[in-house]
Amino acid sequence: MATIQVDGRRYAVDDRDNLLQACLTLGFDLPYFCWHPAMGSVGACRQCAVKQYRDADDTQGALVMACMTPAADGTRISIADDQAREFRANVIEWLMVHHPHDCPVCEEGGHCHLQDMTVMTGHHRRRYRFRKRTHRNQYLGPFIAHEMNRCITCYRCVRFYRDYAGGTDLGAFGAGDNIYFGRHREGVLENAFAGNLTEVCPTGVFTDRPHSERYARKWDLQFAPSVCHQCAVGCNTSPGERYGEIRRIENRYHGEVNRFFLCDRGRFGHGYVNRDDRPRRPEWHAAAGETRVLDVDEALERGGEALRRARRVIGIGSPRASLESNHQLCELVGQDNFSTGIAEREQVCLARMRRLNLDAGLPTPTLREVEAHDAVLVLGEDLIASAARLGLAVRQAVLGRREVLAEARDIPAWNAEAVMTLAQDARHPLFIAYPTTTELDAIAERCLHLAPDDIARLGFAVAHAIDATAPAVGGLDERTRATAERIAEALRSARRPLVIAGGSLESPAILEAAGNVARALATRERRGGLTLVRREANSTGVELLDGRPLEWALDALGQGDADAVVVLENDLHRRLPGERVDRALAAAETVIALDHQRTATWERAHLGLPAASFAEADGTLVSLEGRAQRFYPVYEPRYHRPESRIHPGWRWLLALHAGLQRRTLPDVAFDDLTRDCARRHPVLAGIVAAAPGADERVCGLKLARQPHRYSGRTAMRADLDVSEPSPPRDPDTPFTFSMEGYAGFDRPRREVPFAWAPGWNSPQAWNKFTDEVGGHLRGGDPGARLLEPAAGVAGHVDAIPPPFEAGVGEWRVVVLPRLFGGEETSSRAAPIMARAPAPTLRLAPADARRLAAEAGDTLVIETSLVHLTLPLLVDAALPSGLVGIPAGLAAALSSGAPARLSVVPGDGEAQP
Amino acid sequence: MNGSTEMLVVVLAAMAQALAILAGALLLAAVMTVVERRLLGLWQDRHGPNRVGPWGSLQLVADMIKILFKEDWIPPFADRALFVLAPAIAMASLLLSFMIIPWTPTWGVADWHIGLLFFFAMAGINVYAVLLGGWSSGNKYALLGAMRATAQTLSYEVFMGLSLMGVVALAGSFNLRDIVAAQQGLWFIVPQFFGFCTFLVAGVAVTHRHPFDQPEAEQELADGYHIEYSGMKFGMFYVGEYLGMVLVSALIVTLFFGGWHGPWLPPFVWFALKTAALLVLFVLLRASLPRPRFDRMMSFGWRVCLPLTLINLLVTGAAILWLSPAAD
Amino acid sequence: MWTSLIPATWSQLRTLGMVFRHAFRKRETVSYPEEAVYLSPRFRGRIVLTRDPDGEERCVACNLCAVACPVDCIALEKGEAEDGRWYPASFRINFSRCIYCGMCEEACPTSAIQLTPDFEMSEYRRQDMVYEKEDLQIDGPGKDHDYHFYKVAGLAIAGKGKGEAQDEKPPRDVRTLLP
């Protein structure tokens, strides 16, 4: 700690900070541009000037850049000094010399850091009489819009994109007035985190393009704290709604999980909520293919009657539905009839991951803790594709060596340019074993492109090399053995080694191998970590409900053991081959589907009940870290669409349950449901503490979902009815559907729908909500962790698979997760559809030669269940004997399945 | 038989005359509600009610229809009997007072020796209307208004009586016809100027007209004693106020302006013209003068008007004695 | 008290006289609707959306009027033309809520929204007080005859490329090495 004096008053600050961090942590409003809490300082913008005094006798002082000056003990500075203030005002004026006077038509307006800073310094009139330099814009893909004239050359974009996120296709070009931030030529920004440029850029150079298409200013959006449903990482988001549509997803700061950044799938993948074809009213699908729209009472009556008639009702849950909905389904059909809705091969992996979390001896680090690890082994995961935000954290962990080196030379960690120059290419070791290339390969020490079984063997070998009691792998070739030794050596010598594996390749062997490595490390008393990647938002949580796999449910229906099924927010056709699903559903007397999407399963259901998506429902999800997190409804769908009958899945199920028992629907509060779920499943006991109850109040007020400047209340709905209804009530949460309620920053609270503080409209306002800049939310970070390792380490597992051998004329399918298009719901969002690359079939060059096929040729892949035609991509990294198929294409193709390939004849001639 | 038939004719004629006077007084009061608004408009550079009928002539009809069809509502917390009784007293006491006014040498209901005293008695009863109305409403503003009205009326009635004693002394009678006859040569306004002044002030105060409308004072009491009244009951209070105005005007004409006396024109026309002029004066007072504070008004009554009337009475008495031929 | 009686009485009588003299003055009341009312050009009445001197919509859907509105009676949604020009895809004013304060006009950066000297907009049905864009859009520039936002702002639209706005140099060639 250090004591510094600001404008004559003394404050205790952290001496590892710079003065800007210290001042912002203390709550002073000091303008800045180029500094970012996650990226340190470079002193480029000259905006955070303060007056520094040598000692008490120094009355003259000197201007220094606060971001480049350490908060050393005894520092005396003045923020309010006239000279410093004038200097800051002048800097803004220079920056604004070329600004294009287009705030009214700028998407950033209203949450623009440049606007905030301009107001803060008091500049309001352009005195510069000469002409402005201008630039042409570039097309940067479906996510990001580019308007280069608004640039103030703070360099934040390239520092984030290149240094932090590891992108290569955005750069700074030219010098002086020529300076240009863009790609070397027009094209889609490739990095998976490009969307963060919209929040990183302090002005409107990079803006959210999907948001611009259905635009609303930040002050007009209604926000609620939410959790991203597009993968299992559990990033916190603030979806913004207007006119009953989710218009934009903003990052919601969570000190332990996503902190400042989201991946593009999470940020731009919400469009499925707004789809026109989304079911909004209950539907009855008669036999002859006609659809009747029902009202709620009639739908429930029919549903209840059908369930009463049924001999046995099966409930199929979903890993993309909340714990409460799944639990309520379990209550409806009984534990014996409850299926998780997850295919067996995936559920086996999930069960194994849960066991490893308990008995492998290593805890699962939070994302922030991941960044503190200094050696990482990734077994069978393409992190950027399957858990992108985790991949970004791993990147920071690997780059963390810079800070170690800097510390040795007394360079403060925030001095980004110096730290980077010093470290050059020095990184912490990262080892990746995956069938093909991954985006993190560029910073890995060693990348091994192996078949799934060989990845497992490598893992077992590493475990054996760390801990001789672990089973040895027989028949290992010399190179692999040497690699395993090197990996073991790196993990052994690390202060905090991290092992990452997951279910992407659906290989239990890989997980056991990772478990052995973890156990081997756990015995060495290191503060290591084990992160196991799950596929879907609530995979971890639903697995904890102890349901049976989907196959069991389909069998029960197909064999006539059960004659009714309730499917909760699950498209079975994406999990198992369509024919098998159809057969089972056709055998059932009654199929009731609850979903927020018009899926193949919905179309085959007799009764469809429109469930709420994450934007309209409350619920709890468990992330891959084992963190239970609550998401809240952002808006009430009936307010703007009075005809809609969307309700959360759990509420439909409660009503069905009441109908089944011929009771009237009880008035159940959501908190009771959560408590009930926690009581029924002891492992979920922690979910009650995951979020404040509905009775949470700040200064006696509920919390506001809308910013206090929310406009148009008396006109938005006036076309429907000039007498506006009172805002919808929300008894289930501590939030109101209005601007009435607490929305400030000065009273700590855990659930913050949106960040705003006086003078801070941009995402930079989060600094006002944290205990220190880049720290934790002052009210505590949301969520509660459920899965902590049990005491003691279980014994090693000896289930080493034989080495992979390429078959002759037969290939093994390996399903490769995709960031864009690989996930069910987000791939229904228009921007993701536009961004997703065309699916291709990957083959090793040798295999392609054997088939006499060239890149671009159309190939047919055939298994016992499926016949698919795809263009060929020759993948030099892929081991021979494997065929790589992008995820989300055909449920019938699962990893490990044998497949035959053939070239479509005549295709080569068709393309001379 | 003959005598009794003649008697019947006389009685019927007298009753017809009384009814005509009653109807005339009521109609005049009602018309005054509109005339007042037109006059206020005139002096405030605006039009006043001019939308109903030609030049607003049917405004009165509109008002009547409106007030008759309003919901006649008695608040549940009110004392029902008194609440209903109060406006009836207000109207009745004032209408009865018109009995004593000698409109022309031949017209008039009652030719009583105690004429003036009857007026004082009726004015005293009128206080009960306000007091009971305010009290029975069960509303604090109504009660405050009623208290003010009572205090004000009691105070001003003291010197109202005294101010007329000069007139009575000069005429040597309480009979109003005698008083009118006594003004054949000289109107009493000349010898009794101070009496006239104080009676005018007291008359305005007793009818709660501006600037002495403390009992109603909209800004402070939100309409005072009749705040809870609506419909025709309110209408009776409302018309009652204008009846009082007409009555006081007629009395002033009778007592100070020579009643029906005047050259050329028939006696009734003279009486009507004089009364009309005084009514206009009442409206002009309302248009011009602000309402004083209640304590100022009370002290004005007790400390200015009362001494003034006493002095006036003394001087009058002295003058009568001085000039009386019987003195020596 | 007695000493001030005479001047006070005189004052009251004088007041009576002065008020009485008003009987011979001209009446201030304008007999609307028989007589037309004079409304100044700056009168704050019915709100319109104007066009720029080229006849294009001035409103750029920046939402500042909506946020400035103290009764929140303005709601609009942004649309974007092919060439990048912003315009209001919908624009609604609920005149049954409007208080004609003129804050929207003050907030408007493009002189698009203007209040006009017209107050005769009473309706029998409140629903008819909700004006949509086609009810608000007029064909002229209103009170501001000259302002043309896109000629000033740097956003490129059809017919005005980068570097052609007010005080702008032609776009830079990033690839050149010359200063």
For B30-69, the pLDDT digits (tens) are 888 888 888 898 898 888 888 888 888 888 889 888 888 8
Query: B–C: how many Cβ contacts below 8 A?
Result: 39
Residue of chain C nearest B40, judged by CA positions: C23
pLDDT band, very low/low/confident/very high, at A909 (cuts 50, 70, 90):
very low
Q: Is residue C16 part of a domain?
A: no
For residues A40 and A59, what is the distance between their CA atoms, to the nearest angstrom?
30
Report CB contact under 8 Å: C20, B284: yes
Note whether residue C85 is domain-resident.
yes
Q: Do C12 and B47 touch (CB under 8 A)?
A: no
Do the domain assignments include residue C111?
Answer: yes
pTM: 0.84
Q: Does B43 sit within 8 Å of C2, measured CB to CB? A: no
Contact A537, A619 (CB under 8 A): no
The answer to whether B245 and B209 are in contact (CB under 8 A) is: yes
Band the pLDDT of B104: cuts 50, 70, 90. confident
pLDDT of residue B218: 66
Residue C34: inside a domain: no
Q: For the residues A681-688, what does the mean pLDDT come to?
A: 92
Q: Is C177 on the interface with B (CB under 8 A)?
A: no
CB B86 within 8 A of CB B132: yes
Pairwise CA distance, residues B210 & B245, whole Å: 11
Q: How far is the alpha carbon of C146 from chain A, nearest alpha carbon, in Å?
A: 18
Chain A residue with minimal CA distance to C81?
A213
Q: ipTM value, please give it.
A: 0.88
Supply the range of the domain harboring residue A420: 347-540
Give the pLDDT band of residue A166 (cuts 50, 70, 90): very high
As a whole number, mean pLDDT of residues B116-139 equals 86
What is the pLDDT, as a whole number, of residue B195?
A: 82
pLDDT on residue C103? 95
Any CB–CB contact under 8 A between B289 and chain C?
yes
Neighbours of chain A (3+ CB pairs under 8 A): C
Count of Cβ atoms closer than 10 Å to residue A222 Cβ: 28
- Predicted local confidence at residue C160, as pLDDT: 87
Contacts of C155 in chain A (CB under 8 A): 100, 102, 105, 147
pLDDT recorded at residue B328: 47
Q: Which amino acid is at A585?
A: L
**Is residue A58 a part of any domain in this protein?**
yes
Closest-approach residue (CA) in chain B for C20: B43
Quote the pLDDT of residue B105: 76
CATH code for the domain in which residue C131 is found: 3.30.70.3270
CATH number at residue A32: 3.10.20.740
Residues of C in contact with B289 (CB under 8 A): 12, 15-16
The CATH number of the domain holding residue A520 is 3.40.228
Confidence at residue B28, expressed as pLDDT on a 0 to 100 scale: 86
- Please report the pLDDT score of residue A262 as a whole number: 94
Looking at chain B, which subunits does it touch, using at least 3 CB pairs closer than 8 Å as the criterion? C
Q: Is the confidence at residue A654, as pLDDT, over 90?
A: yes
Q: How many domains does chain C have?
A: 1
Domain that holds residue B298: 18-323
Question: Are chains C and B in touch, 3+ Cβ pairs below 8 Å?
Answer: yes
Half-sphere exposure of A705 (CA within 13 A, CB side): 27
Instruction: Say if C133 falls within a structural domain.
Output: yes
Query: Is there contact between B and A if contact means ≥3 C-beta pairs under 8 Å?
Result: no
How distant is the Cα of C41 from the closest Cα of chain A, in angstroms?
Answer: 27
Give the mean pLDDT of chain A: 92
Residue at B8 is within a domain = no
Least confident among A234-243, A833-842, B293-302, C112-121: B293-302
Total structural domains within chain B = 1
Q: Look at C31 and B47 and tell me if their CB atoms are within 8 Å.
A: yes
Q: Which residue has the higher pLDDT, A316 or B225?
A: A316
Contact at CB, A715 and C132, closer than 8 angstroms:
no
Residue C98 lies in a domain: yes
- CA A708 – CA A713 distance, rounded (Å): 12
- Using CA atoms, how far apart are residues A501 and A497, in angstroms rounded to an integer? 13
Partners of residue C179 in chain A, C-beta under 8 Å: 176-178
User: Once rounded to an integer, what is the mean pLDDT over residues A784-807?
Assistant: 87
Chain A residues touching C61 at Cβ < 8 A: 215
Q: What angle do CA B286, B291, B294 make, to 5 degrees?
A: 140
pLDDT averaged over every residue in chain B: 83
Spans of chain C below 70 pLDDT: 1-2, 179
- CA closest to C173 among chain A residues: A178
pLDDT digits (tens, 9 = 90+) for B237-256: 888 888 888 888 988 988 88
> Chain B contact for C5, CB < 8 A?
yes
Rounded to a whole number of angstroms, the distance from the CA of C139 to the nearest CA of chain A is 22
Mean pLDDT for A697-716 is: 93
Residue C61 belongs to a domain: yes
Amino acid A278: pLDDT: 93
* Per-residue pLDDT tens digits for A314-343: 999 999 999 999 999 999 999 999 999 999
- Chain C hits for A722, CB-CB cut-off 8 Å, are 94, 96, 126-127, 129-130
Tell if the CB–CB gap between C19 and B304 is shorter than 8 Å.
no
d(CA B228, CA B117): 33
Question: Which one, of B240, B221, B245, lies nearest residue B137 by Cα?
Answer: B221
Identify whether B328 is part of a domain: no
Percent of chain B predicted with pLDDT > 70? 95
* C154/A134 CB distance under 8 A: yes
Tell me the per-residue pLDDT of B278-324, one tens digit each, with 9 for 90 and over: 999 989 988 888 888 888 888 888 888 888 888 888 888 888 888 87
Task: For C11, name the nearest residue in chain B, comparing CA atoms only.
Answer: B289
Q: Is residue C63 part of a domain?
A: yes
The pLDDT score that the predictor gives to residue B217 is 63
A544: how many CB neighbours lie within 10 A of its CB? 25
pLDDT at residue A912, as a whole number:
36
Contact C19 B43 (CB under 8 A): yes
Contacts of C163 in chain A (CB under 8 A): 134
C15 and B289: CB-CB below 8 Å?
yes
Backbone angles phi, psi at A694, to 5 degrees: -65, -15
Chain-chain contact of C174 with A178 (C-beta, under 8 angstroms)? yes
Strands, E assignment, A356-482: 375-379, 430-434, 446-449
Calculate how close chain C gets to A135, using CA atoms only, in Å: 5
Q: Do B43 and C23 touch (CB under 8 A)?
A: yes
The pLDDT, as a whole number, for residue A741 is 92
> What CATH number is attached to the domain comprising A822?
2.40.40.20
- Reduced to 3 states, what is the DSSP secondary structure of residue A180? strand
Asked if B42 and C1 come within 8 Å (Cβ–Cβ), the reply is no
Chain C residues within an 8 Å CB radius of B46 = 27-29
pLDDT in tens, A365-405: 999 999 999 999 999 999 999 999 999 999 999 999 999 99
Spell out which residues of chain C touch residue B288, defining contact as CB-CB under 8 Å.
12, 15-16, 18-20
How many domains does chain A fold into? 3
Q: What is the pLDDT of residue B327?
A: 46
Instruction: State yes or no: cis peptide before C33, omega within 30 of 0.
Output: yes
Which residue, of A35, A65, A96, is where some domain finishes? A96
Question: CA A432 to CA A452: how far, in whole Å?
Answer: 12
| Closest CA in chain A for residue C71 | A714
- CB burial of A611-641 (b: ≥16 within 10 Å; e: otherwise) equals bbbbbbbbbbbbbbbbbbbbbbbbbbbbbbe
Structural domain including C79 reads 51-152
Query: Which residues in C lie closer than 8 A to residue A185 (C-beta atoms)?
Result: none
